[in-house]
Every structure is written in C-alpha cells, then in structure tokens.
Amino acid sequence: MKNRIRSLSLIGFGVLFGLLVSLNFSVFADKNADPKNLPIEDLRIFAEVFGKIKADYVEDVDDKKLLTEALNGMLGGLDPHSTFLDQDHFKEMQQGTAGEFGGLGIEVGMEDGFVKVISPIEDTPAFKAGLKSGDLIIKLDDKSVKGMSLNDAVKIMRGKPGSSIDVQVLRKEQGAAPFTVKITRAQIKSQSVKSKLIEENYGYLRVTQFQERTGEDVAKSINKLFEENKKPLDGLILDLRNNPGGLLNAAVAVSAAFIPEGELVVYTEGRAKDSKMHLTAIPENFVRDPKKNYIKKLPADIQNTPLVVLVNNGSASASEIVAGALQDHKRALIVGTKSFGKGSVQSILPMNNGTAIKLTTARYFTPKGRSIQAKGIDPDIIVEDGLSGLMSREADLTNRLSNPEEQKVTPENSKDAEDKDAAAKPAAKTDDGAEALKNFKPVEFGTADDNQFTEALNILKGVEKFKKIN
C-alpha cells in the first residue's frame, strides 16, 4: 500500500500548461509485452514506411521527430487521454503535482484538431484574460493549431514568465468570428485549498485541484473553520467547480474527511490484474505514514455537519470521485450542474529513456457501482450558472471511451444521434467575440455574485431550520 502512495497517481483530464492531470497508477511499469505476441508483419510494414519517408519525403525528417509523431499518433488514436510524454512533459508533470508550474494556467484537450479549453484555473493569466471552458484555440501567435499534436501546442504556449503570446480563440456561442487575446505567461503557484467562514456557523471550502498537500490542507482548513466559529458548524459548502482532478490519494483523503473510516470511496476495473483496486477511507490509502493521519485530528462533529458539494461541467475525474462517493453514501447534497464525465483511469508508464506514456488502463466506479464515464455526476439539486449549455463534456470528445452501460454504437444509431445533434445546434452567429471578451468578467466563486454559492448557502440554512422544527 505504501508503494501505491509513493507511485505517481493522478486523477483528471487534458493537459495543463506545464501540468498533466489524470487518474493514473504507475503499477504497470514493470510489465513488458510477450515478444511472441508482437505483430511482426505489421512492425515490418512500420519499418518499411519509416524507410520510405526517410528516403523519399520532400524534405529531410529528423528520426526522433518522426518516431515521436508516430508514438503520438498511436496513443492519440486510442482515446483522448492516452498520450506520449517526452522528457520535458514528464518532468513538468512530476513537478506540477507539487502545485507550482510555468505557463498560462488552463486545462486543455483536443477537439477536431484544435486545442480546447477545458477549464481555466483561478487567479492565473488565462483566467484573468477571460478564457472560458469550451473555447477553441485555433492559432498561437501566427501558427495554426490545426494539425499539431497537443504536446506541440503546449510547448508553444509554455515560455519564460513575463513573455506574451497571442492566442486566437473561437468561442462557439459567439459564432464563427474568431478573436485574439494577448496573454502574459507567469510562474503559476496554485493554491489548491481556500476556505472562509461565510457567516456565523457556516463555512466555505474550495478545492481547485487535488495536489500532494490537498488532503492535509483540507483538514487544516476545517479545523480553522471550527476554531474561528468557536463551535460546530451548522453547514459547510465544499466547492469542486472547475476542478479538473489531480492526485488520487488526495481525492481519497478529502472523501475520508466526511465519511466513516473504512467506507469505500472508489473502485477500478480493467483487463490487467493490477488495475482492479478498491480504495477505502483508511490512512494507508492517502498518507505514507499512517501515524501521521491528519484526518484523525478533525473535530468529530465534521462527520455530522450538513454538507453541500458544488459541481459544474468543469468538475472532472477526482472531483467526480469525491462527489460520487459523498452522494452514494448520502453524506452530502450535490448542487450545481452535471459534471464533466471522465470515468477512465490512466497509468503513467515511465520508459527507459526518461520519457513516459499515459495510457488508459481501467474505468473507475462510485461505491454503488456507477460509471460516470461520458455521463458525469447528476446533481441532487440543479442550479444553473448560465454557461452549462455552452460547455463541452467528456461525451463530446472525439474517440472517447464508452460507458459500459451505454448501447453499442452501430452505423444506424450513430447516424440518428448525429441527426439529432445537428437539429439541436443553433445556427451560427457572426458577431465578433472580441467585444464579448472585453465585457466578460469571470464570476468569483464564493461571493454574493455567485448564484450557485448563494443557493447552496440557502439550502444549508433550510436544512438547519428543518432540524429545529423537528
């Protein structure tokens, strides 16, 4: 179990500028394919194609570049979350889990050959510039993104803090007119946990990513809220909106703060024996040394504190695991809009040359056996934010992994679905999104302007009133 904690285990989706986040286990790294089962004839064809390109392509092609592109294509063709990590990306991923990395501060994926903004991270250059979930990045400076690999696009977006990059964006709800925004790169230090006493007896806890110290910081924040309130809380809001994921053990730790020790948080299923895991709320699943179990230091009353969890379509993977566990155990009311729906497991497999691959190896399930893959977590109480219909989810991604409960796709029902989607899509507008971006001001989560937050607080107050009446 300690080895599991030591391993690089992440949960999320997409590529963060300087940080890759996904549900990952590195336990498969020592496994090699049986040479007897290798497709020798196909490998010969690969070698033959490689030779033809080297001999006959119009320009000379670097061997390393050609092989890297082949690896990108091989992995990218499997699903949106499998990818090849060169040495730089692998190092950045390892550094980023500590909560500090360079870049623009947005979670991205690919859609139709373009870079798609999954979620801007709070207080980062991209967030302050007004980029939104669902935006398509079509040009970086003067370079078209079409045809680039995601890794290549990320390399362009990285750069020295203080330097600027022109990002051309296509915003779907604004129609077909692209616009350009200049963003200044920065060294991003992400504070994953924020908290405050909203008013007497009611606390607010926001988790922006699941990092190495997130579980411990959540415990410290809860203790601080109880101390500041000088008595047990009447209600707590756990805000997971726009949280793209992060470390697996951190997600288990946050769940363990609110459910009894030993209860199931999540389980995974895949073809490999090592991909079948049951993770419960016990110290061995979230701390290296069980003697340093910070969850044990929480006030006992936190187990009974009325809890509302806020989610939206930017809540993915680790966020969905926490929300799903608390929902299944009837420990919290889930409020907001449907979550992103990433229910697949990726394993980080280091290679001998300092590179690595991120490979989808399993699906994960909530304690009651629900797969959220391409479905997401449905809130108990829907509170719209005015943006959910404009944002994409896992189900919208090209070549995404299927949900085990959904019907098999056939040419017939696939065509029917396409026809329905086409009929549902509004006609494109032609207005300039640049003007809209100038006027766009991101809502600060946890303020009076945050409708979902204020509604969550009203729900908690209603629960307390109900208790007093009864």
CATH code, 371: 3.90.226.10
Give me the pLDDT at residue 175, please: 58
Whether 27 and 132 have beta carbons less than 8 Å apart is answered as: no
Average pLDDT of span 326-335:
98
| Domain termination residue (choose one: 130, 165, 189) | 189
Ramachandran region, residue 66 (left: φ > 0; alpha: ψ -120 to 50; beta: rest): alpha
Residue 21, in any domain of the structure: no
Judged against a pLDDT cut of 60, whether residue 98 lies above it is answered with: no
Whether 9 and 29 have beta carbons less than 8 Å apart is answered as: no
CATH code, 184: 2.30.42.10
Number of domains making up the chain: 2
| Domain termination residue (choose one: 140, 170, 189) | 189
- Which residue would you say has higher pLDDT here, 88 or 311? 311
3-state secondary structure 308-319: EEEECCCCCCHH
Question: Are 279 and 172 part of one and the same domain?
Answer: no
Tell me the range of 167-176, 305-314, 432-441 where mean pLDDT is highest.
305-314
- According to DSSP, the residues that pair with 357 across neighbouring strands are 84, 349
- Which residue would you say has higher pLDDT here, 54 or 120? 54
**pLDDT, tens digit (0-9, with 9 covering 90-100), for 121-166:** 777 899 889 888 778 999 999 899 988 888 788 888 988 888 999 9
Global confidence as pTM = 0.75
Question: Are 320 and 184 part of one and the same domain?
Answer: no
Confidence of residue 23 (pLDDT cuts 50, 70, 90): very low
Catalytic positions are: 317, 328, 342
| 131 φ/ψ angles, rounded to the nearest 5 degrees | -65, 145
Please report, as a single letter, which amino acid is at residue 417: A
Judged against a pLDDT cut of 70, whether residue 17 lies above it is answered with: no
Least confident range from 132-136, 194-198, 251-255, 414-418: namely 414-418
Give me the pLDDT at residue 437, please: 53
Question: Are 163 and 265 part of one and the same domain?
Answer: no
Residue 156, in any domain of the structure: yes
Give me the pLDDT at residue 35, please: 55
- Which residue would you say has higher pLDDT here, 412 or 83? 83
Residue 17, in any domain of the structure: no
Question: Are 183 and 209 part of one and the same domain?
Answer: no
**pLDDT, tens digit (0-9, with 9 covering 90-100), for 280-329:** 999 999 998 888 999 999 999 999 999 999 999 889 999 999 999 999 99
Question: Are 177 and 202 part of one and the same domain?
Answer: no
Q: Residue 140: which domain range?
A: 100-189
Whether 223 and 230 have beta carbons less than 8 Å apart is answered as: no
Whether 348 and 96 have beta carbons less than 8 Å apart is answered as: no
* C-alpha to C-alpha distance for 268 and 5, rounded to whole angstroms: 16
Question: Are 285 and 314 part of one and the same domain?
Answer: yes
**pLDDT, tens digit (0-9, with 9 covering 90-100), for 175-206:** 568 899 999 999 876 678 999 999 999 999 99
Confidence of residue 96 (pLDDT cuts 50, 70, 90): low
Question: Are 289 and 170 part of one and the same domain?
Answer: no
Average pLDDT of span 225-236:
97
Question: Are 340 and 303 part of one and the same domain?
Answer: yes
3-state secondary structure of 232: coil
- Which residue would you say has higher pLDDT here, 100 or 448? 448
Question: Are 235 and 296 part of one and the same domain?
Answer: yes
Question: Are 290 and 362 part of one and the same domain?
Answer: yes
Residue 435, in any domain of the structure: no
Question: Are 329 and 260 part of one and the same domain?
Answer: yes
Whether 110 and 116 have beta carbons less than 8 Å apart is answered as: yes
**pLDDT, tens digit (0-9, with 9 covering 90-100), for 336-366:** 999 999 999 888 899 998 999 999 999 999 9
Whether 325 and 266 have beta carbons less than 8 Å apart is answered as: yes
- Which residue would you say has higher pLDDT here, 118 or 218? 218
Average pLDDT of the chain, as a whole number: 82
Give me the pLDDT at residue 33, please: 52
Percentage of the residues of the chain whose pLDDT score is greater than 70: 79
Average pLDDT of span 248-265:
96
Judged against a pLDDT cut of 50, whether residue 80 lies above it is answered with: yes
| Domain termination residue (choose one: 133, 161, 189) | 189
Question: Are 287 and 403 part of one and the same domain?
Answer: yes
